[in-house]
Amino acid sequence: MSISADPPSAASAWPGAPAGAGAYVLTLYVTGQSVRSARAVSNLRQLCEGLGTRCELTIIDVLERPQLAEDEKILATPTVVRQRPLPVRRVIGDLSDLDKVILWLELPPTADTPPPSQTNG
């Protein structure tokens, strides 16, 4: 897992990794050091640890980098954006239900997380 303070660019997000190599590029937008932001960071880090080197996580505090949030049209925080693989996916909230986060972001189940159940309700 790689965690950086700056957003990944198309050219530098995965040095040496070919497109479609199974890598997940996630960006988490938070607002300051709130309890909700801290919970989202913790939950997403747990999820990325399960993906190991296949996950690159960038955390952006919109209070420090408001232009980045505006460029991505982030209207609420915390918001996680799966930049790669395409299509882009977004989830808003503290990400406390990891099964749903995995399902909504279309991530593979991790060793720590059982496969998400797909129920009709």
At 50, which CATH number?
A: 3.40.30.10
Give backbone dihedrals phi and psi of 116, rounded to 5 degrees, phi first.
-65, 140
pLDDT at 52: 84
Q: Is residue 11 part of a domain?
A: no
Q: What percent of the chain has pLDDT over 90?
A: 59
pLDDT at 111: 59
Q: Is residue 113 part of a domain?
A: no
Q: Is residue 112 part of a domain?
A: no
Q: Is residue 10 part of a domain?
A: no
Between CA 26 and CA 41 the distance in angstroms is 12
Q: Is residue 114 part of a domain?
A: no
Burial (CB count <10 Å: 0-12, 13-18, 19+), residue 103? middle
Three-state DSSP class for residue 29? strand
The number of folded domains in the chain is 1
pTM over 0.85: no
Q: Is residue 16 part of a domain?
A: no
Q: Is residue 116 part of a domain?
A: no
Q: Is residue 60 part of a domain?
A: yes
Q: Which domain, by its residues, includes 90?
A: 21-104
pLDDT at 36: 92
pLDDT at 3: 41
pLDDT at 14: 36
The amino acid present at 19, given as its one-letter code, is A
Between CA 10 and CA 25 the distance in angstroms is 10
Give the chain's residues under pLDDT 70.
Answer: 1-22, 110-121
Average pLDDT in the chain: 79
